[in-house]
């Protein structure tokens, strides 16, 4: 058997010169847009639901574990005198809150989820109502490095949810 040496062609891609590739023009460099940055996902959960007695005097925020509740996987009432949540290592924009609950709400106003920044409620909010999911994809809030972000289920007197409650949002 006879072997034939291979022929290798070497190609070079060079910038176009001038309008027709002739000399005299300025080289044209291909410009690709930078890739879109992948958002950071912030998430929180409550393993055993939350409830507020019918005799409570006012709406109460129950912060989610991972985004406000720091001791266990149960939604808990936290004092609003200190910041509950995660400190942001860098600035950005919070958006796209999504919530999923194990049980359905009992009234149209049941289970309002609100994003808090530095212990103040923001415009990012959604209500589960009589369903088991909600989302706010319209509002956004800017945060700076060091700001503390939390998510709370705000219950009215007599409202409750059983089972797991999950929430996530994006930081761009």
Query: HSE (CB half, 13 Å, CA atoms) of 70?
Result: 11
Cα 61 to Cα 63: distance, rounded to the nearest angstrom: 6
Q: What is the pLDDT of residue 11?
A: 29
Q: How many domains does the chain have?
A: 1
**Inside any domain, residue 47:** yes
Q: What is the pLDDT of residue 10?
A: 31
- Tell me the CATH number at 48: 2.60.120
Parent domain of 128: 40-171
Start-to-end CA span in the chain (Å): 63
**Inside any domain, residue 16:** no
pLDDT digits (tens, 9 = 90+) for 4-19: 444 333 323 334 444 4
**Inside any domain, residue 91:** yes
CA angle 131, 132, 138 (to 5 degrees): 85
The Cα diameter of the chain in Å comes to 96
**Inside any domain, residue 15:** no
Quickly list DSSP for 53-87: -TT-SS-EEEEEETBEE-SSSS-EE--TTS--SEE
Q: Work out the average pLDDT over 106-123.
A: 86
Q: Work out the average pLDDT over 141-160.
A: 86
**Inside any domain, residue 161:** yes
pTM, two decimals, is 0.70
**Inside any domain, residue 23:** no
Instruction: Report yes or no: 50 and 75 within 8 Å, Cβ to Cβ.
Output: yes
pLDDT confidence of 97, banded at 50, 70, 90?
very high
**Inside any domain, residue 134:** yes
Cα 8 to Cα 151: distance, rounded to the nearest angstrom: 62
């Amino acid at each position: 058997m006879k072997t034939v040496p291979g022929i290798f062609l070497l190609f070079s891609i060079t910038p176009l010169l001038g309008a027709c590739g002739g000399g005299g023009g300025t080289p044209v460099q291909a410009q690709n847009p930078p890739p879109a940055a992948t958002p950071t996902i912030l998430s929180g959960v409550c393993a055993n639901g939350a409830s507020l007695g019918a005799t409570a005097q006012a709406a109460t925020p129950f912060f989610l574990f991972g985004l406000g509740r720091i001791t266990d996987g149960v939604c808990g009432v936290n004092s609003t005198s200190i910041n509950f949540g995660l400190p942001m290592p860098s600035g950005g924009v919070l958006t796209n809150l999504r919530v999923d609950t194990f049980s359905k709400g009992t009234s149209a106003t049941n289970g309002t989820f609100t994003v808090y920044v530095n212990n103040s409620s923001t415009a990012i909010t959604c209500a589960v109502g009589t369903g088991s999911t909600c989302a706010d994809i319209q509002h956004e809030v800017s945060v700076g490095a060091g700001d503390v972000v939390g998510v709370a289920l705000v219950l009215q007197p007599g409202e409750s949810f059983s089972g797991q409650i999950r929430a996530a949002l994006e930081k761009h």
